[in-house]
Amino acid sequence: MTTTLEKLERLDEPILIDELSWREFKAVEQLLSRPGVRLSFLDGVLEIRRMPGRKHETAKQRISTLVDMYLEYAGIDFTPTGSVTLESETGRVKREADLS
């Protein structure tokens, strides 16, 4: 029998679908465009995953704060961009960064 914790951990594993064309990816993207789902596409492979939860968001923000403090201290000019979507049909890639 699978425990609840094991079921929850499996929910964090991405679903991978390969050998898709860019056109097929864009069709799937329209169908799965909903809150809580993140899609990525690279070289014909579609990755479907749930949006990260609270634990991830807390760690992300702490790391971001440390990096910001270091860059300020070191006098390095930087521009935080938040979550930016990078997409290229010719490169057959779409990815959304968490924070950059």
* Residue 3 vs residue 29, higher pLDDT: 29
Q: Is the whole model's pTM more than 0.75, yes or no?
A: no
Beta strands, E only, the chain: 15-17, 37-42, 45-50, 85-88, 93-96
Given this model, what pLDDT does residue 6 score? 56
Which residues are paired to 21 by β-bridges?
none
Given this model, what pLDDT does residue 70 score? 95
Mean pLDDT over 33-46 rounds to 86
| Other Cβ atoms closer than 10 A to 74 | 8
How many helices (H) and strands (E) would you count in the chain? 3, 5
Q: Is the pLDDT of residue 89 over 60?
A: yes
Q: Which residues of 24-44 are buried (b: 16+ CB within 10 A; e: fewer)?
A: ebeebeeeeeeeeebbbbeee
